[in-house]
Amino acid sequence: MRKEKMFAMRMSQPDYDRIQHKAGQAGMSMTGFLTASALDKNIVVVDGLDKVVTELKAIGKNLNQLTTLCNMGRITCLDLSEVKSSFGAVFDYLYDRMDRG
């Protein structure tokens, strides 16, 4: 959406610093953070996503290898219980780190 309106306000330096810090923690600009906060939108910060991305890449590589073997006719029956378990672990990891407040 195009931002066409300018909004200015005054606040104390400690309030400014705290808002700027919170916006930085959320990986957002101050404008984005204040707009989301004012419109009662949830702001969720999840740390440690680098581990999750690594795990998802490994799972993706395994799925690609299985797909290739299936297409080549080298395997006919897949047991995806380990894949399901890995995805469950990833989602559990994310859920445990979500701010539920």
Distance CA 81, CA 77 (A): 12
**79-101 pLDDT tens trace:** 777 877 887 888 787 777 665 54
The pTM assigned to this predicted structure is 0.50
Locate the domains of the chain by residue range: 1-45, 49-97
Question: Helix 13-25 to helix 30-38 angle, to the nearest 10 degrees?
Answer: 90
Whole-number average pLDDT of the chain: 84
**36-78 pLDDT tens trace:** 999 988 887 777 777 878 888 888 888 888 888 888 888 887 7
Distances (CA, A) of 10 to 13, 36, 59: 9, 19, 50
